[in-house]
Amino acid sequence: MIHLRIVAPEHKARATLEALASSDAVCNIIHLPHSARRPDGDLILADVAREDASMVIADLRGLGLDRDGSIALVEIDSHISAHAEAAIRNAKGLPSDAVVWEEVEERTSEQVELSAVFVVFMVVAALLAAMGIYQNSAILIVGAMVVGPEFGPLAGLCVALVQRHVGLARRSARALIVGFAVAIATVYVTTRVFRAVGLFDDDFSLENHSFANLISSPDFFTFFVAACAGVAGMLSLSTAKSGALIGVLISVTTIPAAANVGVAAAYEDWDICVGSLEQLGINLGSIVLSGVIVLWLQRIHYVRRRHKQRAERGLTRTSRATTRSRPSS
């Protein structure tokens, strides 16, 4: 379940309580008048089944509480309440399949910032992959995949495209472009330095390394694997199944492909360099495409539920108005 902490202006408190009470998926409603500051207003607490959380929050935003007040969401790990169990039963769908859109937007927004930490992780991951390519070590390459933080901006780009959020799309694209550019440049410079001091052999050939050849030879399976990873990644983020995300990170060769570009450029092996760039582009494009499709289908389901809810409420209001207008016998 999701716990809601709402600050509502005094003149909107009653409408807020009515909006919460109108949903059978809401329970444990608490009203504390005049108890909130910055913004001033009434504090209202409630628990809502995860399946209907975005539906209820949409009603609250319709009252303008996201502008005049405040709406905070907190995940409830466990609850002991017959009322909560009833609220979950009244909600449509399964909690494990539910998408809380506000949670997805916030989570991805936090992961797309072009920060110093993000760039450092990109550089470290690329350097690990470069060492794995040079030593033909699967362990180092897998480790680089896990360390790489690129899936955050990729997920943010998917959300931005589905939600038509231009600002989020720009920040996601900027983080990806700058992050990969700095990582490739760092690998290139590092490889050149290691060659100059004798740590890397001058006669090293990427053609004799199986991982380098695999990374620089994109084919249909490159697209297929990246597309599957994109589906799994977006489902893990949108449905709070974060445990599946590690498997996604290990299965996609974005960081190794970027590292291979830097190593190949340093050795002036342009065929490998171009092939690795193609691998990187196909992986990034496939992840975004499949992620957008997953989110789009989930969004369609939510919009249909929202329209159905509004239609049912309209019929209920019409029925009530008709009943009141009938003359008494």
Q: What pLDDT, on a 0 to 100 scale, did the predictor assign at position 104?
A: 82
Q: What is the pLDDT of residues 285-319, one digit of tens each?
A: 999 999 999 999 988 888 888 888 777 666 555 55
CB-neighbour burial class of residue 314 (10 A; exposed 0-12, middle 13-18, buried 19+):
exposed
Predicted local distance difference test score (pLDDT) of residue 324: 54
Which stretches of the chain score pLDDT less than 50? 244, 329
- pLDDT score at 319: 53
pLDDT (0 to 100) of residue 95: 65
* Cβ partners under 8 Å of residue 127, min gap 6: 186, 187, 190, 259
CB atoms within 10 A of CB 72: 10
Question: What does the pLDDT read at residue 302?
Answer: 83
Domains in the chain: boundaries: 2-98, 104-303
> What per-residue confidence (pLDDT) applies to 190?
96
Q: How many helices (H) and strands (E) does the chain have?
A: 14, 4
CB count within 10 Å of CB 319 equals: 10
CATH number assigned to the domain with residue range 2-98, chosen from the 4 options 3.40.605.10, 3.30.70.260, 4.10.320.10, 3.40.50.920: 3.30.70.260
